[in-house]
Chains A and B, each alone.
Chain A
Amino acid sequence: MTRTFLARNPSVLIFLLILSLFTLGVTVLSEAYGIAFLSTSFIKTLGKTLCLCLAALAMDLIWGYAGILSLGHMAFFALGGYMIGMWLMYARTEGIVITALSNEALPATAQEIQNGIAAQIFGVVGASELPGVWLFAHSLPLQLALVVLVPGLLALAFGWLAFRSRVTGVYLSILTQAMTLALALYLFQNDSGLRGNNGLSGLQNIPGLDGVSQDRISVWFLWASAFALGMGYLLVAWVVSGKFGSVIRAIRDDEARVRFLGYSVEGYKLFVFTLTAIIAAIAGALYYPQAGIINPAELAPIASIYLAVWVAIGGRGRLYGAVIGAALVSLLSSWFTGGRAPSINLGFYTINWVDWWLILLGLSFVAVTLFAPKGIGGLFDLLQGLRSPDRKGAPLGPDDGALLEKEAKE
Chain B
Amino acid sequence: MSQLLEVSGVSVTFDGFRAINNLSFSIGPAELRAIIGPNGAGKTTFMDIVTGKTRPDEGRVLWGERSQSLLSMSEAQIARAGVGRKFQRPTVFEDQTVADNLMMALKAARGPLAVLFWSPKPADHSRVAELAAEVGLGDALARKSGELSHGQKQWLEIGMLLAQEPQLLLVDEPAAGMTLAEREHTTRLLVELAKTRAVVVVEHDMEFVRRLNCKVTVLHEGSVLAEGSLDHVTRNPQVIDVYLGRSER
Contacts and interface: CB of A to CB of B under 8 A. Distances in A.
Is B truly associated with A?
A: yes
Interface of A: 1, 239, 242-244, 246-247, 249-250, 253-254, 256-257, 259-265, 267-268, 271, 392-394, 405
Given A243-B103, A244-B115, A244-B116, A259 B95 contact: no
A263 B147 CA distance: 25
Interface in B42-69: 51, 53
Interface string B70-100: 0000111101100011010001011110001
A240 to B, nearest CB: 11
B79 A253 contact: no
A253 B94 CA distance: 8
Contacts of A242: 115-116, 118-119
Contacts of A271: 112-113
A247 B112 CA distance: 9
Contact of B110 (A239, A250, A253, A262): A262
Interface of B: 51, 53, 74-77, 79-80, 84-85, 87, 91, 93-96, 100, 103-105, 110-113, 115-116, 118-120, 122, 125, 139-140, 142-143, 147, 160, 164
A260 B147 contact: no
27 contacts: A1-B120, A242-B118, A243-B104, A243-B115, A243-B118, A244-B118, A249-B93, A249-B95, A250-B96, A250-B104, A256-B53, A257-B87, A259-B74, A259-B76, A260-B51, A260-B75, A260-B84, A261-B104, A262-B80, A263-B76, A264-B76, A264-B112, A267-B112, A393-B143, A393-B147, A394-B143, A405-B147
A259 B147 contact: no
Contacts of B112: 244, 264, 267-268, 271
A262 B125 contact: no
Contacts, number: 83
Contacts of B84: 260
Contacts of A259: 74-76, 79
Contact of A247 (B104, B122, B147): B104
A151 B103 CA distance: 34
A1 B125 contact: yes
Contacts of A392: 147
A246 to B, nearest CB: 5
